[in-house]
Amino acid sequence: MQYLKEDTGVTVTFGPFLSISGGTVPMTAFAFGASGVSLSKNGVAIAARNSTNKVLHYHKGWYGIRLNATDTNTSGLLDMMSSVSVCLPVWQQYMVVSANVYDSLFAAAGTDYLQVDTLQWDSVEVNATGVTIEPADPTIAGVSTRFMSADGLTGLSTATSVDHAATLTYVTGLSTRMMSSAGITGLSTAVAADVAEVKAETVLILADTNELQQDDIPTQLAGVSNSLGNSIGVQITGVSTRMMSSAGFTGLSTAVAADMAAHAIELTSVSTYVSGVLNTVTVAEMAQGAPSVTPTVVQMLNFNYRILRNKLEAIKTGISIYDDAGSTVLFQSTISDDLTTFIRGEFESG
């Protein structure tokens, strides 16, 4: 059986035409047009061929019959027949196939390839809405060889890992910032500034005190009675002694130290509170929707966590991430793969 390319004109060899009288004498002089040759397309009623090209005799009763694109526009069996009164009946069967099949089988190497895409999985169309590919092996690794190859799920895993790494880097940086000298120590810096201000004022007090000690108080009071001068001198000396003793500056230092200790307690409380929040506060599952271009830290963590934990459905054109119940698509993305490049589009609302 000869194969013909669908929707394509072709000249086929048809014969032999032999005399009806003896059945052995070739008939070589026929010149009939379209009406001399009839066709039946895949079992449909017989009709004259559409091509009007005249037949040409080749050799000893074999003729070249021209068929146009209309004659070959139906895939399947093509029966061609001719009944000329002076000849025995002549018929021939052809198989009309699509251009993809014909070029894959008969054209030059590399012209085309047979279409072997997976259209069904376990008798269900894989591109139908809501169809999940479930392999015999319940692990994700069994979804399909292609999907789990370096160009398949690994491509998706790489993209997810990049997002996860970015999120982890951000959170780690935030933690480092809060716990480093630029973080909680930053609060201590504010306390240190207050202490520095107190120290500066203490220096001024000390300078005034030194100046008081250097003045010639007894000479200035020489005209005053000795008892009054002695009394004033005793009092001034007592003031100076009091301010310069351990009960003086040490008292001020004690007050400053108390303030610093109070701030240290506050810093410890902040650290304890942050640790408690990170270890006890839970994050609710997000509503259906596309990831934001400018997400919060909680949103970034939530989207990555749902990809790792929840049901993931993959078909040949896209990926869907479901909610905890496995019934609502939270967000989804298109995918394409031409065996050279794997592309995952942005996630959008489910």
Stated length of the chain? 350
Residue pair 18/27 in contact (Cβ under 8 Å)? The answer is yes
- Highest mean pLDDT among 110-114, 156-160, 249-253 belongs to 110-114
∠ CA(156), CA(148), CA(129), 5° rounding?
A: 70
Mean pLDDT of 166-184: 62
∠ CA(340), CA(342), CA(348), 5° rounding?
A: 160
Can you give the pLDDT at residue 297?
Answer: 93
SS (H, E, C) the chain: CEEEECCCCEEEEECCCEECCCCCCECCCCCCCHHHCEEEECCCCCEECCCCCCCEEEECCEEEEEECCCCCCCCEEEEEEECCCCECCEEEEEEEECHHHHHHHHCCCCCCCCCCCCCEECCEECCCCCCCCCCCCCCHHHCCCCCCCCCCHHHHHHHHHHHHHHHHHHHHHHHHHHHCCCCHHHHHHHHHHHHHHHHHHHHHHHHHHHHHHHCCHHHHCCCCCHHHHHHHHHHHHHHHHHHHCCCCHHHHHHHHHHHHHHHHHHHHHHHHHHHHHHHHCCCCCCCCCCCCCCCCHHHHHHHHHHHHHCCEEEECCEEEEECCCCCCEEEEEEEEECCCCEEECCCEEC
* Rounded Cα–Cα distance for residues 184 and 220 (Å): 56
- Highest mean pLDDT among 128-137, 158-167, 269-278, 288-297 belongs to 288-297
Higher pLDDT, 226 or 264: 264
Q: Which of 29-33, 194-198, 257-261 has the lowest mean pLDDT?
A: 29-33
* Rounded Cα–Cα distance for residues 46 and 48 (Å): 7
Q: Which of 5-9, 22-26, 96-100 has the lowest mean pLDDT?
A: 22-26
Rg (CA), the chain: 49
Q: Quick one: pLDDT band at residue 220, thresholds 50, 70, 90?
A: low
Mean pLDDT of 99-112: 87
Residue pair 12/37 in contact (Cβ under 8 Å)? The answer is no
Residue pair 65/11 in contact (Cβ under 8 Å)? The answer is yes
* Rounded Cα–Cα distance for residues 104 and 98 (Å): 10
